[in-house]
Amino acid sequence: MNEKLKIKLSIADRVYPLTVDPSQEEGLRSASKKIDVMIKQFEQNYAVRDKQDVLAMCALQFASQLEQKQIEKTEDNQESLERLKKINDLLDNYLEK
């Protein structure tokens, strides 16, 4: 039986009660801390008057990081595929001799 945990996360000075799988707890707590750090950075570096604006900027930052990683992963996969094709061609040429 998969027990759920009841946890409370604080983000932008608000508490959010969640019921999660134990395997998710560490990731959620880490994400919550990263969001709060990013909020503080945005508030220190920009003239932001509203938490909503700061949260939107955080969401954009995290989403763009995720998108960039996906782009890089796709490029890495393409490079790997091209290398495998070259190796396959070399093996085919070697076996034909």
This prediction has a pTM of 0.69
Residue 35 CB coordination number (10 Å): 20
- Per-residue pLDDT reduced to its tens digit, 70-86: 999 898 888 898 999 99
- Per-residue pLDDT reduced to its tens digit, 39-77: 999 999 988 888 899 999 999 999 999 999 999 989 888
